[in-house]
Amino acid sequence: MEIDAKYIAEYLNGEVVGDAGVKVKSAARIESAKPGTLAFLGNLKYESYLYTTKASIVLVNRSFVPSKEVNATMVKVDDAYQAIASMLELFASFKSSRRRGRSLFSHISWRATMGRGCYVGKGTVIEKGAKIGKGSQIYPQVYIGEDVKIGDNTIIYSGAKIYNGCVIGSNCIIHSNAVIGADGFGFAKIADGSYKKIPQTGNVVIEDDCEIGANTTIDRASMGSTIIRKGVKLDNLIQVAHNCEIGANTVIAAQSGLSGSVRMGRDCMVGGQVGFAGHITIADNTSIGAQAGILSSIKEEGRSLLGSPAMDAKEYLKAYSIFRKLHKR
């Protein structure tokens, strides 16, 4: 489906600069875009591409003033990053069609409850006591254990495993091969030097509007619940250990790991490969750079941290600048 610049401007509450009738049917990166595509300029580091791009339409911030002639039609918006996210969602909606029905090759317990308009793919197993909300999409080869509860319009992609008793809210996305509710890493050393397994009797609760990346694992609590609050976005290959709690609208990039009983606040931003020691608390609005090591609680809200062990980002950059020059002394 093609849409024109006028439609995009109305959809985003923006302003057209150029040909309002030019049409696009997909989005592309500004440096490699082709005619008929929509691009965006959110970072001025890429401004030079604006003057050479072959994109038909480019989203720019309302305050942006070009330094030379722009061949593409521009649509000025309040925030180009948010605008391109909205447009990608719109393009995806043109292509996707919600599936319905249950494959003959799936196994659904007669004691499970399925909401209206659900889809269940081939090879999927849904155990007794499970409750699936209306409109949810369960792709092939998913396992949903006993007494699992899944809200409305949630998508669970192929290969995901949801262990017994876990709860997933509405409008969530669980990507392929994620494992929700495996046992936490709990063992007690006994007199002969071996380890006795500590039963993990809790569950995992994922609230509404969350997204869990491929191959991410969220362990069940030893007692109580491991909790992922509303709007959390977890990238691929993340480990969340037993009894953790991640606050609302926090985002965590790939290969990060949370040890047991970490309490992370809301609206935090965590880069890739960050490691968290167990039993610590992270304040709201904390930003943590990639590969940082968080060994103790962060009590002050709004801090930015870098390094391992982590420290204030400004202090880290000063220390690093000195470290780089040590060989010259």
Distance CA 191, CA 290 (A): 40
Provide φ and ψ at 260, rounded to 5°.
-60, 140
Distance of CA 194 to the CA centre of its chain: 39
Tokens 């969602």 belong to 89
Task: Say if residues 208 and 151 touch (Cβ distance below 8 Å).
Answer: yes
The C-alpha atoms of residue 189 and residue 155 are separated, in whole angstroms, by 40
**Torsion of Cα atoms, 90 then 235 then 136 then 126, to 10°:** 160
Which of 107, 175, 242, 327 is catalytic? The answer is 242
242 is known as an active-site residue? yes
- What lies within 8 Å, CB to CB, of 224 at 6+ separation is 202, 243
Cα separation of 302 and 285, whole Å?
5
| Rg (alpha carbons) of the chain, rounded to whole number | 24
- Round to whole Å and give the CA distance between 311 and 317: 10
Reduced to 3 states (helix: H, G, I; strand: E, B; else coil), residue 95 is helix
What is the set of active-site residues? Answer: 242
